[in-house]
Chains A and B, each alone.
Chain A
Amino acid sequence: MTLIDLANPTRFLSLTAKILPWLAAATALLLAIGLYQSAMAPDDYQQGATVKIMFIHVPNAWLSMFVWGVMSLSALGTLVWRHPLADVSAKAAAPIGAAFTFLALVTGSLWGRPMWGTYWEWDARLTSVLILFLMYLGLIALWRAVEDPSRAARAAAVLTLVGAINIPIIKFSVDWWNTLHQPASVLRMGGSTLDKAFLIPLLVMAVAFSLLFITLHLAAMRNEILRRRVRALQMQQASQPRA
């Protein structure tokens, strides 16, 4: 199966109907394993039990950037390759990305209060992630403001690609500026600095949340395709001569 095969919405719907139950089951299983491992992980010598917040904060923070990456690829698909499902993918991903970003911000804040002594600090990492959250909300508002999906798609694609500049800024903000936020400890040159007791639950949770995103994204894309069918049929009905 290639991307061209998936350009047919009916074929895409057929595929998602088959794989969504399996994806949902795999997500639930991996989340259960990850939560168990997170609960059983030892306390950190500095953070104590608050290290457990990291097992949900970090996957949400990674996904907040990853989802924008998916939307940027979809934006290229809309503007360059004109793939019929590209804007469906972008529109479906935005609310899910916004939710992950919101969770990254709030769980980070709940970790920061006991560890840093403050819920919020206007430093480079926190501020750039807040900007990412606001950009997600802006994109959702844009999709809702323009009634014609194809017109909204092009405007949203341009905004998404412009907003993609924020992703490397978030990633490298801890290296480029002095911030309260600690530097990368997992995805870094030279390997992870985390002990296996923390690294394994974190990676299991990261894979579980990634599967959760894929499942929700495919389901939301399916809904969007159906919504466009409703719109097309409603327009067809409105254009039919009345007896």
Chain B
Amino acid sequence: MSLGPYASFIVSSYLLVALVVLILIGWIALDYRQQRARLRELEASGVTRRSGRGAADLS
């Protein structure tokens, strides 16, 4: 597969898309872990939801 004289533009485009998508995935995954950790901390300190269910329980 030859990308011709504009290979740098093509490769840069694909690398940029990969980078931004990976940042989005990483940011969302990190945010999820942070929220679950905060919920567990709050529950451990004795604060519970009115329903009585665990706030970090997703089922």
Residues of A within 8 A of B (CB): 10, 13-14, 16-17, 39-40, 43, 48-50, 52-53, 56-57, 60, 95-96, 99, 102-103, 106-107, 110-111, 113-114, 212, 216, 219-220, 222-223, 226-227, 229-230, 232-234, 236-237, 240
B42 contact set on A, CB distance < 8 A: 230, 233-234, 237
Which residue among B28, B32, B38, B48 has the maximum number of chain A CB atoms within 10 Å of its CB? Answer: B28
Annotate B1-24 by CB proximity to A: 1 below 8 A, 0 otherwise. 111111101101110110011011
Set A14, A39, A212: member contacting B59, Cβ < 8 A: A14
* Distance (whole angstroms) from the CB of A91 to the closest CB of chain B: 12
A233 touches B39 (CB 8 A): yes
User: How many Cβ-Cβ contacts under 8 Å join chain A to chain B?
Assistant: 107
Cα(A110)–Cα(B56), bound, Å:
44
B32 touches A223 (CB 8 A): yes
B53 touches A10 (CB 8 A): yes
B17 touches A107 (CB 8 A): yes
* Distance (whole angstroms) from the CB of A243 to the closest CB of chain B: 11
For A48, give the chain B residue with the smallest CB separation.
Answer: B4
Cα(A220)–Cα(B39), bound, Å:
17
* Distance (whole angstroms) from the CB of A8 to the closest CB of chain B: 11
Interface of A is mostly: helix
Cα(A52)–Cα(B17), bound, Å:
13
Residues of B within 8 A of A (CB): 1-7, 9-10, 12-14, 16-17, 20-21, 23-25, 27-29, 31-32, 35-36, 38-39, 42-43, 45, 47-49, 53, 55-56, 58-59
B39 touches A114 (CB 8 A): no
17 residue pairs bridging A and B, Cβ less than 8 Å apart:
A10-B53, A49-B4, A50-B10, A56-B17, A57-B13, A110-B16, A111-B9, A216-B24, A220-B31, A223-B31, A226-B35, A226-B56, A233-B43, A233-B47, A233-B49, A234-B42, A236-B47
B24 touches A99 (CB 8 A): yes
Cα(A111)–Cα(B29), bound, Å:
31
A53 contact set on B, CB distance < 8 A: 9-10, 13
For B12, give the chain A residue with the smallest CB separation.
Answer: A110
* Distance (whole angstroms) from the CB of B34 to the closest CB of chain A: 9
Given A107-B16, A230-B42: A49 touches B36 (CB 8 Å cut-off): no
B36 touches A106 (CB 8 A): no
B17 contact set on A, CB distance < 8 A: 56, 60, 103, 107
* Distance (whole angstroms) from the CB of B37 to the closest CB of chain A: 10
